[in-house]
Amino acid sequence: MNKSIFYHAGCPVCVSAEQDIVSLIGEQNVEIVNIGEDKARISEAENAGVQSVPALVTPNGNALHINFGASISDVKG
C-alpha cells in the first residue's frame, strides 16, 4: 500500500488529529506535511483536493477533511 499524506498547519486541532491518525493507521503508513512551514507543498495539497487542514489524502487519492483547523487560504495568508 502506498502511504497516505496528512496535511496540517500546526494548529491545535491539527496536532490532535495527527496523533489520532498516526495511532490509527500507523506512523509508517503516513507522511506528515506541515503546509504552514512548507508552503511549497500547498499547491500539491490543493491539487489533491485539500480545502482545509487537517486533511488526510489516502493512497487512492481521496481527500478526507478531518474536523476543521484552518482553510487553505488562511494558511497562504
CA 53 – CA 17 distance, rounded (Å): 10
Contact residues for 12 (Cβ-Cβ < 8 A; gap 6+): 69
Q: Which stretch binds a copy of itself (CB under 8 A): 38-46, 53-61, 69-77?
A: 53-61
Cα–Cα distance measured from residue 3 to residue 31, given in angstroms and rounded to the nearest whole number: 7
In the bound state with a copy of itself, the residue whose beta carbon lies nearer, of 47 and 60, is 60
20 binds a copy of itself (CB under 8 A): yes
Residue 2 binds to a copy of itself (criterion: CB under 8 A)? no
Contacts with a copy of itself: how many residues (CB under 8 A)?
A: 18
H/E run at residue 20: helix 12-25
Region binding a copy of itself by CB under 8 A among candidate stretches 31-39, 40-48, 59-67, 69-77: 59-67
